[in-house]
Amino acid sequence: MSVHQLFDLGGQTALVTGAASGLGSAIAEALLAAGARTLMTDVDEDALNARVALLRKHHPLAEGAVLDVADPDAVDAVVDDAVRRYGQLDCVFANAGISAGRGFAVETGQLEHVEHPAWDRVMRINLDGVLATLRASVRHMKPRRQGRIIVTSSIAGIRAEPLSGYAYVASKAAVNNLVRQAAVELAPFNVLVNAIAPGPFATEINGGRLKLPESAERMRTYIPLGRVAQPHEIQGLALLLASPASSYITGAVIPIDGGASAR
Q: Which of 128, 92, 125 is nearest to 16 (CA)?
A: 92
Residue 238's H or E segment, with its range, is: helix 235-242
Catalytic site residue from 166, 168, 222, 248: 168
C-alpha–C-alpha distance, residues 167 and 171, integer Å? 6
What count of other Cβ atoms lies within 10 Å of the Cβ of residue 254? 16
Separation of CA 112 from chain center: 30
Q: Which of 200, 95, 78, 96 is nearest to 150 (CA)?
A: 95
C-alpha–C-alpha distance, residues 210 and 198, integer Å? 13
Per the annotation, the verdict on 168 as an active-site residue is yes
Residue 112's H or E segment, with its range, is: none
What count of other Cβ atoms lies within 10 Å of the Cβ of residue 26? 22
3-state secondary structure of 102: strand
Segments of the chain assigned E as strands: 13-16, 37-42, 62-66, 91-94, 147-152, 191-198, 253-256
Catalytic residue ranges: 168
